[in-house]
Amino acid sequence: MIKEIKAGIAGLGHLGSIHSRILSEISGENKNIEFKGVYDIDSLKNNKISEEFKVKAYNSLDEMLSDINSLIIVTPTTTHFEIANKAIEKKINLFIEKPVTGSLDEAFKLLSKKDNVKIQIGHVERFNPAFTGLKDFVINPLFIESHRLAQFNPRGTDVSVIQDLMIHDIDIILSLVKSPISVINANGVPILSNDIDIASARLQFENGCTANITASRISLKKMRKMRIFQKSAYISIDFLNNKSEVYRLVDKSEVKSPLTAIPVSEDKSIILDLPNENSTKEFNPIKKELESFFNSILSNEPVKVTLEEGKEALEVADKIINIIQSNNK
């Protein structure tokens, strides 16, 4: 079991710089975690981050891999497999930003080689307090609606909106609905890029649950909301504002409008739970997911978001993309 983490970061774009700042914070708070250094093919970015956080700027990926035991991969998706494959061969633990790889075949290849290393996938919404605050509430969805809307940013257009944004909600839904998918319907179009910029998908599960998922990166306003309907309950999750609401039906005989929030003091038919009201602004999900990754290494416990789960989310995303492309021919 590893007693001291020596971590490096590959990829220093916008997200890589955020990971660098957070890793610097974590290493300052935990004496068992050392931020060894960074690597990017852009030497200017390499030197800038190196100087800012007082860590080594490695001249090559191989040089960094020979000096660390844990790697955070924040490079373009198309490079994830090559970097991860090299790291696994050296028995280096991996945190890989979503989507896990550029293709499903690459994800399967990583799965076949993952023995003896920890691999966590960066599905950050799993660590959002709006979601984690529901951990003690039994969720058995019958119907799910999700909307993830963002303003256009050329930075994310190396992949479609399905891999860029929708995959967050796919991962959350797969973690909640413990049943195989039976049918997928989807539509989408490119608007401002050469890839799909807005898309809608409908997932039907063998257990009867249905999920409608919408994702857009050409919206004027941001939105990251999911609504879950189940027997005698309605759950609203606002990932953007780190807040969730639960409306629970306690006594059907006294309820006039099941979706109206009634103060408990007036009518105990409905209970309104706000599990995350106290922890919205200072909570950093990226920091939480990295801390979770490092803790799984130090304690030799399973990671929170596995390589298998990353593969499953990518598999559904790929099917959605293929259906859309087929419809658009």
Q: Which string of DSSP letters, residue by residue, matches 154-216?
A: GGGTTS-HIIIIIHHHHHHHHHH--S-EEEEEEEEE-SSSSS--EEEEEEEETTS-EEEEEEE
107 found inside a domain: yes
Residue 13 CA to residue 77 CA, distance in Å, equals 12
Q: Which residue has the higher pLDDT, 89 or 282?
A: 89
Listed range (7-11, 26-30, 250-254) with the worst mean pLDDT: 250-254
CA angle 175, 181, 184 (to 5 degrees): 115
pLDDT over 50 (residue 53) = yes
Total of domains in the chain: 1
| Contact assessment for residue 38 and residue 11, using Cβ atoms and an 8 Å cutoff | no
| Contact assessment for residue 68 and residue 62, using Cβ atoms and an 8 Å cutoff | no
Average pLDDT over residues 277-303: 84
How deeply is 191 buried, as exposed, middle or buried, from its count of CB atoms within 10 A (0-12, 13-18, 19+)? middle
Average pLDDT over residues 199-220: 97
Q: How confident is the model at residue 251 (pLDDT cuts 50, 70, 90)?
A: low
154 found inside a domain: no
Residue 37 Ramachandran class (φ > 0 left, ψ -120 to 50 alpha, else beta): left
Ranges of beta strands (E only) in 206-242 are 210-216, 223-230, 233-238
182 found inside a domain: no
Its domain, for residue 108, covers 5-123+285-303
174 found inside a domain: no
| Contact assessment for residue 139 and residue 231, using Cβ atoms and an 8 Å cutoff | no
Q: Give the containing element (helix H, strand E) for 49.
A: helix 43-53
83 found inside a domain: yes
153 found inside a domain: no
118 found inside a domain: yes
Listed range (17-21, 251-255, 277-281) with the worst mean pLDDT: 277-281
189 found inside a domain: no
Task: Report CA dihedral (211, 215, 220, 221) to the nearest 10 degrees.
Answer: 50
Average pLDDT over residues 279-304: 88
pLDDT of the residue at 262: 35
Cis bond before residue 263 (omega within 30° of 0): no
CATH number at residue 10: 3.40.50.720
pLDDT over 50 (residue 217) = yes
pLDDT of the residue at 162: 97
pLDDT over 70 (residue 270) = no
Q: Which string of DSSP letters, residue by residue, matches 246-288?
A: EEEES-GGG-S-TTS---TTT-TTEEEE-TTTTSSSS--HHHH
Residue 205 CA to residue 189 CA, distance in Å, equals 25
